[in-house]
Amino acid sequence: MKYILVTGGSRGIGRAICLKLAETGLPVIINYQSNTAAAEEVKGLIEAAGGQAELLPFDVAKQEQVEAALDAWEARHPEDYISVLVNNAGIRRDNVMFMMSDEEWHQVVDTSLNGFFYLTRRVLKHMMPRRRGGRIVNVTSLSGLKGMPGQTNYSAAKAALIGATKALAQEVAARSVTVNAVAPGFIETDMTKELPVEELKKLVPMQRFGRPEEVAAAVAFLASDEASYITGEVISINGGLYT
């Protein structure tokens, strides 16, 4: 049986992606770091709608945790494989570069970029054999496309994720695995709740922040059979903020 794995699925954009992808009827594996109550809530909503879900907590930035979690999942699911992977987990640790600590730099890069590497390398083993195919969708950011002041760490990690998306797409295309990215602008989640929303909204041609569901819709399309000939692409979801 095929499964969907979404990292950072307990809150925000990842939560919306879990709920949307569960509509496919495939079971959803909800990864998160520590917020079990929020992840349980997402699982409950999926089940209430007639879908299937399970929790798989691990820190994407810690290779040993990624390997241990996937080992345990595979042992419980000898006949199953992950056919859709959404690399969504990410954090912000904003600071101007001359004040930025080693920790702020490494935490952000470790989560968005190294997390993508550890998990995707591992999950490709599910997709590559016998040309089973698969879908990988990476959640990058407007910051990775245009660069944002105060976010050299985050912009670097998200820009690197775009480069990796394009390179990996070409590596695995012959195996019917597609690799794409979405690049949200300002989306209403915990990550943006402390920003000066009223001021920032004025910068957006649509005059509002996006909703997590608006990102999830694009991810669901890229994860679908309909998107079978799209790979190495980055879709901006930003209300016209940067085109």
Shortest distance in whole angstroms from residue 184 CB to ligand NAP: 4
Does 154 participate in catalysis according to the annotation?
yes
Residues in contact with ligand NAP by CB under 6 A are 7-8, 10-14, 31-35, 38, 59-61, 88-91, 111-112, 139, 141, 184, 186-187, 189-192
Shortest distance in whole angstroms from residue 216 CB to ligand NAP: 10
Handedness of CA 77, 115, 57, 213 (dihedral sign): negative
- Of the pair 7, 178, the CB lying nearest ligand NAP is at 7
For 154, the token pair is 């985050």
- Of the pair 128, 217, the CB lying nearest ligand NAP is at 217
Q: Pairing relation of β-strands 81-87 and 2-6?
A: parallel
Choice among 32, 118, 154, 242 that is catalytic: 154
Shortest distance in whole angstroms from residue 89 CB to ligand NAP: 4
Contact at 8 Å (CB) between 45 and 124? no
Amino acid at 157: A
For 165, the token pair is 């998306």
Shortest distance in whole angstroms from residue 189 CB to ligand NAP: 3
- Of the pair 10, 165, the CB lying nearest ligand NAP is at 10
Residue-wise burial string across 210-233, b where 16 or more C-beta atoms lie within 10 A, e elsewhere: bebebbbebbbbbbeeebeeebbe
For 28, the token pair is 């959803």
- Of the pair 25, 205, the CB lying nearest ligand NAP is at 205
Handedness of CA 212, 218, 223, 225 (dihedral sign): positive
Q: Most distant CA pair in the chain: distance in Å?
A: 52
Catalytic sites, residue numbers: 154
